[in-house]
Amino acid sequence: MPRTPLSIAGAVLAAGVLALSAAPASAQPAPGLIDALRRDLGLSAAEASARVINEQRARDIEPALRDGLGDRFGGSWLNPSGRLVMATTHAGDVPAITARGAQPKLVTRPLARLDAIKAALDVAHGREKVAAWYVDVVTNSVVVLAADPAAAGSFVRGSGVDASAVRVERSAERPVPYADIRGGDEIYVDGKGRCLVGFSVRQGAKQGFVTAGHCGANGALVRTRPGGPVIGKFESVSFPRNDYAWASLYPGWNAIGYIKGGPSGQSPIRGATESYVGASVCSYSPVSGWRCGVIQQLNTSVTYPEGTVTGLTRTSVCSEPGSSGAPFVSGDQAQGVLSGGSGNCATGGTTYFQPIRRALTALQLTLVTAPR
């Protein structure tokens, strides 16, 4: 049964006024991340630090608001100033959203309806002719990107979805999974090539790591260099449809809760709380160093030559071929591993990452975090 606006007010007041509290210690950014935010988002050091803190606060208050809105929830994102925006289909929710420190926005379609439209597109015929599609919570619509808008229009009409909720945009994107690659902690996969360790994980007593699914195959052996000693093997791979995999490490190898952060040292990982549309996100690879941008859309489907991958997060972070599996972080929170994209860091581009929480849940893994 849908909740009433009154029940929302009770839920948010019970949660406390977190928006006005001091930032938690976990909001402290990893070494080098503030400099990357300044460079890539055009911020001052103070603005970059404030953004990290504001985004942590948004992560604190968003779940209670979302739960209170129930089936009236239209999506959430951060506006350019870093304030959390909560969309609702009911005007009566506005006071409670405002009281909690978020900015309300009235929309006509709940997020569940938009997700259902996107899910129908995920299995529709003709998807190989379009580059990507996603729910755009900011415009309360589903967007389809394609080089040929006419073909995209046929794809939408053939799916049987409500076409008034779908916007077709011409795009030159040609997403491909990065291949023959290397990373911070380079791994060489028999039969595949080089990739980057994303995040350390464990499954029971087994230690290992998550990386992009297209980096390996079930049972493939992992080495530190071509022809070098075997350090582990791929236990489970999902690609396409998803783009995640995990590999276990052989005895003598230890998975720790850090990612490489350049000359300043290691960057600790404290958890995997997901950020929202509009939030800053950064990725590290020795190919390009720290690179930052913003989350543009969640739950994006992408057509690769190998097939459609669903549930990816679309970002404005630039990346270079040779970075598959690279870790994406928001503050000290793990977000996902690099799947693919288009462009590069000289001309700009778009990258997609596989959300880490989806991989952890599907593969029954536990993220390894750094000690406090």
Catalytic residues: 214, 243, 324
CA 134, CA 341: separation in Å to the nearest integer? 15
Cα distance between residue 354 and residue 352, in whole Å: 7
Distance CA(313)–CA(41), nearest Å, equals 19
Instruction: State how far the Cα of 99 lies from the Cα of 81, in Å rounded to an integer.
Output: 18
DSSP secondary structure string for all residues of 69-132: HGGGEEEEEE-TTS-EEEEES-GGGHHHHHHTTPEEEE-SS-HHHHHHHHHHHHT-TTGGGSSE
CA-only gyration radius of the chain, Å:
21
Q: How far apart are CA 33 and CA 290, in angstroms?
A: 7
Q: Regarding beta strands 141-146 and 166-170, do their DSSP bridges make them parallel or antiparallel, or are they unpaired?
A: parallel
**CA of residue 344 relative to chain centroid, distance:** 19
